[in-house]
Structure 1
């Protein structure tokens, strides 16, 4: 029965949502480098 309920302001929720959306857009433009990824059919291996 000692649970603590934290109320989060709408502005904080909106800020977190916008950051997540921006991160998704950034990752779609600049995909994170995966050095050990095996190329799929028709893809060339990325040279490092």
Structure 2
């Protein structure tokens, strides 16, 4: 009781999946040397920041 269910559009889930995939490819080419960045890869999609400025964040793809 008291649970909140958040509707996540399919397009947002797909975008989060593509971002994870791109980061995995990037990390395979340029292995992370920063332990914080390496740890970020373990964050689940439900805890990821997913919005229009995601690619501008720290360590993001540009």
Structure with the largest fraction of helix: 2
Between Structure 1 and Structure 2, whose CA radius of gyration is higher?
1
User: TM-score under structure 1 normalisation?
Assistant: 0.64
Instruction: Provide the alpha-carbon RMSD of the alignment.
Output: 1.2
Q: Can you give the 5+ residue segments of structure 2 that lack an aligned partner in the other structure?
A: 35-62
TM-score, normalising length: structure 2: 0.51
* Superposition misfits of 4+ residues, deviation over 3 angstroms: none
Give the paired residue count: 34
- The structure, 1 or 2, with the larger RCO (C-alpha pairs under 8 Å, 6+ apart) is 2
